Structure 1
């Protein structure tokens, strides 16, 4: 079953994206490089606890 996760910017701390992942297959927290509108550049986003 897929669960919704919130992706948070590592530089400004803003919650910019919502994504889904399968917690049984991917046990570690999700990390994706996405565009941050506040920083106006591509930045690492991590899954919020």
Structure 2
């Protein structure tokens, strides 16, 4: 699988996770104690490296 394809898949799953958080009525980025937020934070960093 190409790196670009992996990036696109990561971007899609990140968007889905963020959307589902918003639907449940809270902001992922504020929930630092939550390991899920930590995961999303690291994924965002990876994505920003992918997209540059």
TM-score range, shorter chain: under 0.3
Q: Highest Rg: 1 or 2?
A: 2
TM-score (norm 1): 0.24
Higher strand share: 1
Structure with greater helix percent: 2
